[in-house]
Structure 1
Amino acid sequence: MKNYLLLAASMCLMVSCGSGQKVSQPEKYSQRMVESHGLVDFYCNRHHQTELDSASWDYVSGLVANAVLKAWTLYPEKTEYYDAVKAFADNSTTPDGSVILNAKGESALRPSNIDDLPAGNVFFTLYKEELKKGNTKDANRYKNAASLIRNKLKYDHSRIPEGLPGAGGFFHKAVYPNQMWLDGLYMGSTIYAQWQHVFGQDDAEDNAQSWADIALQFKTINKYTYDEGKQLNYHAWSATPEDENSFWANQEEPFKGCSKEFWARGMGWYFAALADVLEYMPKDHADYPDVLAIFNQVAAGLKRWQDPVSGVWYQLLQYDAQTAADGKGDTINGKVYNVGTEANYLEASASGIFTYAYLKGIRLGLLDREIYLPVAEKAYQGLLKTFIREREDGKLDVVQTCASAGLGPAKDPSRTGTVNYYLAGKDVTVVENEGKAVGTFILASVEYEQLVK
């Protein structure tokens, strides 16, 4: 109770105190960001989107749509939020939900590309809401679309084969054979878990097996990427580090197959995936304790690396701003890439998604409130101070976001996974109003406002 009151006071929540006094209502930053850059004017990997309702299918537009829908769930009077997400979903599916569409009107689900899946997280709330309204046609549309994605992942997505370490783990993409990335746990497992929760109850045996499959993904990547000394997970791991597409991987122990650095947003996707899956995972499932333990392990590690001054996190988690690209770049097959001297920096999207996962974990009782509430409170205030800028017209901007980052494949040797790459790579530029920061800030704000509503 003491912590609840402390948080309420620090947030200036509108509550009645024992003396009859009240404190002022907190700023609803979730709504302000939705209306500044959620419904309109955001970027998907540097591709500008003018409006959410007409944005094409993509994990970034899907993240923004899901965040806007979460804001509507908290503030249902904001019907324009729901309408925009419904339009996004309708624009991206055939009327019967049998095909997910890209901007060209073709299937948006490429073979074994896990990034194509998570935008489907919006279908479950839309399904329930339209069913409640008696709109069974659209409800079935969303159910069919969600089932299409879940079944494609469960039955058709490429996995690490038997005989290799990590057998059963989902490839991140077909172009990254036998590779698992932290990002992929969010891209695949969250929609898989929601489907099991909403639609998987009728077949008890399949449901139990599916939850074991979801848990396997976390247990596998944690086994191979977790550095106990640093309390962090490396960005990615390859079961076949000798493959040309895994040129970035350590070829020898320790951490054979792992990439070289701890990338903040990769850890963020992983942390959020754990929070989102545990929200739905049956507590009596045999793998639940293992997944919960991994979630708490991640929470402890990120607490250690939270910047003590700002309360947020750096692009490369184990360093501060004194670390920079070395000016020499990385030499791959005789060519030099990633030349620059850019310094490590506090990064918005990772800090937002860390804050979201901490707050959600506290709300769901998955994390110790005494330990992590101060971390989450400091982080949220750090988001506002470090990354949020108010324009003269009252709209908000979010700054200091890594546009994108990845590893390989062989045809892209610049993506080396080194310090030089994450700070000076050609695709790792620092941008504003990127959907990955817009969406994560909205999610964090919804949790912040929900925790004491």
Structure 2
Amino acid sequence: MKLSSSVYPLLAAAIALTACGEAKDSTAIKDQQRPTESKSTESESIARLQLANPSAFPRLDEPVYLSFRELGLSEDYAEPLAVHGGGQLPVQRVDRDADGSADGILFLVDLQVDEEIDLKILPGSGEQPAGDKRTQAEISRKTGGQWADRKYLGGYFQNVSELDVPPEHTDHSQFIRYEGPGIESDLVGYRVYLDWRNGFDIFGKKVREPVLQDVGQDGFESYHHMADWGMDILKVGDALGVGGYGYWDGEKVVRVSDVQDWSAKIVDNGELYSSLNIEYKGWKPAKNKQADLSTILSMRAGSRLVEVNGQASEGLGALVAGLVKHTGTQLMVGDLDIPGGAWTYIGTWGQQSLDGSGLGMGLLVQKKTVKEVTEDELNQVVVFKQPATNDFNYYFTAAWAKEAESRHGPITSAGQFEAYLAREAEKLTMPLRKRLTTALSEAQTQQPLSANGALQWSQRLADSELERSTYQLAFGGVDPHRKRPAYFEYTTGLLMQAYDDLNRASPEPRYADAVEKVMGSFVNEDGSINGYVQSKYNIDSINAGKMLLRMLERNGKDSYKTAVATLREQLEHHPRTTAGAFWHKQKYPHQVWLDGVYMGIPFLAHYEKLSAENGGEGNFDEVLAEFKVVREKLHDPQTGLYFHAWDEAKEQGWADKESGLSANFWSRGMGWMAMALVDVLDYIPEENAEQRQYLIDMINELAPVLEKYQDAESGTWYQVANKAGARGNYLEATGSSMFTYFFAKAINNGYLPDTYVPLAKKSYQGLLDQFIQVHADGSVSLTNNCEVAGLGFGRDGSYRYYMSEPVIDDDLKGVGPFIMAGAEMYKLLNKQG
């Protein structure tokens, strides 16, 4: 699990940032607690966790969160857990969704460059290793006095776990200590004005221990002056402050001011992690717009970051996060020409602290959520796109030059601060590489491999996906994977084809019903296809048509005939290379991607087969032309692998200027092509012997190459197939599932000899061992899926790029092929007896 040494701009500076102590592990101040001696036994183990550092700099105080669900425990699990790795680490139960119940555990680890660690999660005794409290969340309001006009007179402060703000409260009413809830780590503290201003302020800390409990006890003025612990260091004024949120009216920020009711509660208040939930009822940011807004603000030890997770009850349009503008400061904007899943930043640095010293403030945002980076008179602003789910997520941070010394700082210059922002963006873009093996999963995946076992694993994942998301993919729903209205997506078609393959192997009404209801929702009576736009000439749009062809064979409906004819018409007019291969998309001119071979060519072959059966020509020349171009242009004679893409015009930034090829061998790209090879042969008639033999030769050419690059220990394949030892590379589920399907189906259909049966078995067992996660309710997940990978529009095709795309659970590009692979293994193992 190793990653490329190439890094974002400014990251080299971040790596060398010894002034901030990140390269050192010797500071004798309260940092990561040393583990205590472990006395637990292997037999008690709940899970084994392997972690690796994908970055070219140390990852210190790195948070690791494990949900009870992924650990194979019930979601209301109440017993203590312990984490051991050469001793016991401090661990905290946390409630990340603020529903009042802990969801899992959080702990911190240190990993040096290229370091890998092996941890065990065990039942705990309830006793924690001795540690310091490194985070705090606090709400403190007065009691024992009385309201006079809009001031609270007399009384004393009392800490509470939650507060519903009384209607008399406003700014400077002397009711809430330091005017709102506070949250801090051992590095910095923040407060939120719980009134119409909704500003976010900073407490600069000169000490490492918690301070909020003492701030403002003697009134509302003292913390604006330097004390032994530090001081309030930011002038917020009428702005958002540091990382506050609001609404963008097209010209300026509208704060969360016009609100019917405010409330706040402490969700977590622990040694390692603390969080607050703030509720805004009836927020009216603009005329004819109103919604409830709920936000969770969380911090963890050893970090300056506050994570903000927000959820609006209704779509409001463009929400924002911002930083107050001060004169004489330097604006920093991170690279925005990056992949959608990558994180970037905006920040400011200057003498903008109230005491006149250096202060940096920053926002960290995921590129795909950003509509624009702009400003108004008072704020530097990030405007967010509005997802169909009406949620948002970002981080804010601050670094004060007078911050207490630690291995994380202080940060004392603009260069150091921007290097810090770049480093934090990389941490979010590339979390620690993780492999979790639970006792529950292992007990079930280690059963002897059998035909019925393979079938049941496909059924279990299919049934789990039916519960998770399948029916939301129908037209009119909201695709939970993409957070947008459900369209005629290639991933939807892939999942439906997997259900259909499974239903063919062992008929079950629930799979046939899902196919009919989801795919049927896209076909209107007149044959038009909901959510399909032919003029985009996107080869991905064809893939779901493969399932429509299967349905047409069964129902013979005119509407389906019209629908598939519409898709075939796209291919008639689809732009092509000079040799006849389809462009990937009209907006990707002259480009052939391996993905596109699977998206378009099996549909074309199936359509031509049906055409021939109904008196048409049945021309398969175009089918072969695509594979010939791919073999001629994208095949690497040295490795035998296939490059992800080829630009005939040699104009794209990712393309080699002489060959037009992209730089790397992406496993899923080759997986798409491998599946297309075995699927297309289902439709080319036996009498077309020369065409069939060409494809069978490609299969036999590819098989030993994939065998060569198969990981010997696990039986699966790496994200970048030929760089198993490179920093950050990981065993990846989607490509591995596709290759397993390829081998099993090729053996079943006689394209490969039975000498490949052991390889197919090993690869399938590898899918179970590496990627299947069993939950306490019996459902299962597929882990370690590369969410997406493409080229252009910020995606440069470098090794680092393929390492930077998010790695997620239950991506349909893995779920579908895993189900299909299991159906083929069911056939293969039945044949083997």
- TM score, norm. by length of structure 1: 0.79
User: Match of 1:58?
Assistant: 489
User: Match of 2:25?
Assistant: none
1:233 match: secondary structure: coil
Instruction: Tell me which of 419, 432, 443 is aligned to 2:820.
Output: 443
Alignment of 1:69 with 2:500, yes or no, is yes
1:296 match: secondary structure: helix
The structure-2 alpha-carbon separation of the partners of 1:445 and 1:12, relative to structure 1 and needing over 3 Å to count, comes to closer
**Contact map agreement 1:110 1:116 (CA 8 A) in 2:** no
Instruction: Tell me which of 192, 195, 202 is aligned to 2:607.
Output: 195
- How is 1:195-274 mapped onto 2 (pairs within 5 angstroms)? 195-203=607-615, 206-207=617-618, 210-241=619-650, 243=651, 246-252=652-658, 256-274=659-677
User: Match of 2:381?
Assistant: none
Residue type of the alignment partner of 1:288: R
CA deviation after TM superposition for structure 1 residue 90, in Å: 1.8
Residue type of the alignment partner of 1:12: S
What is the distance in 1 between the residues matched to 2:465 and 2:535? Answer: 28
1:149 match: secondary structure: helix
What is the distance in 2 between the residues matched to 1:202 and 1:93? Answer: 22
User: Match of 1:345?
Assistant: 730
The structure-2 alpha-carbon separation of the partners of 1:177 and 1:217, relative to structure 1 and needing over 3 Å to count, comes to same
**Contact map agreement 2:654 2:797 (CA 8 A) in 1:** yes
Structure 2 gap segments, 5+ residues each: 1-446
CA deviation after TM superposition for structure 1 residue 199, in Å: 2.8
Alignment of 1:357 with 2:742, yes or no, is yes
CA deviation after TM superposition for structure 1 residue 273, in Å: 0.4
Residue type of the alignment partner of 2:513: D
The structure-2 alpha-carbon separation of the partners of 1:57 and 1:304, relative to structure 1 and needing over 3 Å to count, comes to same
Residue type of the alignment partner of 2:760: A
User: Match of 2:714?
Assistant: 310
**Contact map agreement 2:672 2:738 (CA 8 A) in 1:** yes
What is the distance in 1 between the residues matched to 2:454 and 2:591? Answer: 44
Residue type of the alignment partner of 2:540: D
**Contact map agreement 1:38 1:65 (CA 8 A) in 2:** no
What is the distance in 2 between the residues matched to 1:168 and 1:149? Answer: 18
Instruction: Show CA shifts across 1:77-100 (max 9, x none).
Output: x11211111111221111132x21
Alignment of 1:90 with 2:520, yes or no, is yes
Deviates more, 1:63-72 or 1:381-390: 63-72
What is the distance in 2 between the residues matched to 1:290 and 1:151? Answer: 27
What is the distance in 1 between the residues matched to 2:586 and 2:711? Answer: 36
1:389 match: secondary structure: strand
User: Match of 1:368?
Assistant: 753
**Contact map agreement 2:455 2:822 (CA 8 A) in 1:** no
The structure-2 alpha-carbon separation of the partners of 1:179 and 1:26, relative to structure 1 and needing over 3 Å to count, comes to closer
Residue type of the alignment partner of 1:158: P
CA deviation after TM superposition for structure 1 residue 191, in Å: 0.5
User: Match of 1:337?
Assistant: none
Residue type of the alignment partner of 1:449: Y
The structure-2 alpha-carbon separation of the partners of 1:157 and 1:262, relative to structure 1 and needing over 3 Å to count, comes to same
Residue type of the alignment partner of 1:294: M
User: Match of 2:574?
Assistant: 157
What is the distance in 1 between the residues matched to 2:692 and 2:717? Answer: 28
CA deviation after TM superposition for structure 1 residue 57, in Å: 1.5
Residue type of the alignment partner of 2:788: S
User: Match of 2:450?
Assistant: 12
**Contact map agreement 2:481 2:811 (CA 8 A) in 1:** no
Give percent identity, aligned residues only.
33
**Contact map agreement 1:92 1:100 (CA 8 A) in 2:** yes
What is the distance in 2 between the residues matched to 1:368 and 1:292? Answer: 12
**Contact map agreement 2:479 2:486 (CA 8 A) in 1:** no
What is the distance in 2 between the residues matched to 1:13 and 1:221? Answer: 35
User: Match of 2:337?
Assistant: none
2:607 match: secondary structure: helix
Alignment of 1:423 with 2:803, yes or no, is yes
2:686 match: secondary structure: coil
Instruction: Tell me which of 406, 417, 421 is aligned to 2:790.
Output: 406
- How is 1:106-117 mapped onto 2 (pairs within 5 angstroms)? 107-117=532-542
**Contact map agreement 1:117 1:187 (CA 8 A) in 2:** yes
CA deviation after TM superposition for structure 1 residue 38, in Å: 4.4
Deviates more, 1:287-296 or 1:345-354: 287-296
Deviates more, 1:295-304 or 1:176-185: 295-304
What is the distance in 2 between the residues matched to 1:90 and 1:251? Answer: 45
Instruction: Show CA shifts across 1:407-429 (max 9, x none).
Output: 10xxx2x21111011002xxx11
CA deviation after TM superposition for structure 1 residue 130, in Å: 2.5
Residue type of the alignment partner of 2:490: Y
What is the distance in 2 between the residues matched to 1:11 and 1:405? Answer: 32
Q: Structure 1 or 2: larger strand share?
A: 2
What is the distance in 2 between the residues matched to 1:108 and 1:89? Answer: 16
Give the root-mean-square deviation of aligned CA atoms: 2.2
Instruction: Tell me which of 126, 135, 146 is aligned to 2:551.
Output: 126
Instruction: Show CA shifts across 1:5-39 (max 9, x none).
Output: xxxx963357xxxxxxxxxx666111111100146
Residue type of the alignment partner of 2:654: W
**Contact map agreement 2:449 2:765 (CA 8 A) in 1:** no
Residue type of the alignment partner of 1:213: E
CA deviation after TM superposition for structure 1 residue 145, in Å: 1.6
Q: Structure 1 or 2: larger helix share?
A: 1
What is the distance in 1 between the residues matched to 2:682 and 2:465? Answer: 27
User: Match of 1:81?
Assistant: 511
Structure with the bigger RCO (C-alpha within 8 Å, sep 6+) is: 1
The structure-2 alpha-carbon separation of the partners of 1:86 and 1:293, relative to structure 1 and needing over 3 Å to count, comes to same
What is the distance in 1 between the residues matched to 2:644 and 2:502? Answer: 30
- How is 1:367-406 mapped onto 2 (pairs within 5 angstroms)? 367-370=752-755, 372-406=756-790
Residue type of the alignment partner of 1:258: L
Residue type of the alignment partner of 1:120: G
Instruction: Tell me which of 568, 584, 593 is aligned to 1:181.
Output: 593
User: Match of 1:334?
Assistant: none
The structure-2 alpha-carbon separation of the partners of 1:144 and 1:39, relative to structure 1 and needing over 3 Å to count, comes to farther
Residue type of the alignment partner of 2:592: M
CA deviation after TM superposition for structure 1 residue 47, in Å: 5.1
User: Match of 1:100?
Assistant: 529
- TM score, norm. by length of structure 2: 0.44
What is the distance in 2 between the residues matched to 1:394 and 1:374? Answer: 29
CA deviation after TM superposition for structure 1 residue 169, in Å: 1.1
Q: Bigger radius of gyration, 1 or 2? A: 2
Alignment of 1:146 with 2:587, yes or no, is no
User: Match of 1:327?
Assistant: none
What is the distance in 1 between the residues matched to 2:822 and 2:455? Answer: 10
What is the distance in 2 between the residues matched to 1:304 and 1:388? Answer: 24
The structure-2 alpha-carbon separation of the partners of 1:88 and 1:110, relative to structure 1 and needing over 3 Å to count, comes to farther
What is the distance in 2 between the residues matched to 1:214 and 1:223? Answer: 15
What is the distance in 2 between the residues matched to 1:416 and 1:49? Answer: 24
1:287 match: secondary structure: helix
Residue type of the alignment partner of 1:383: L
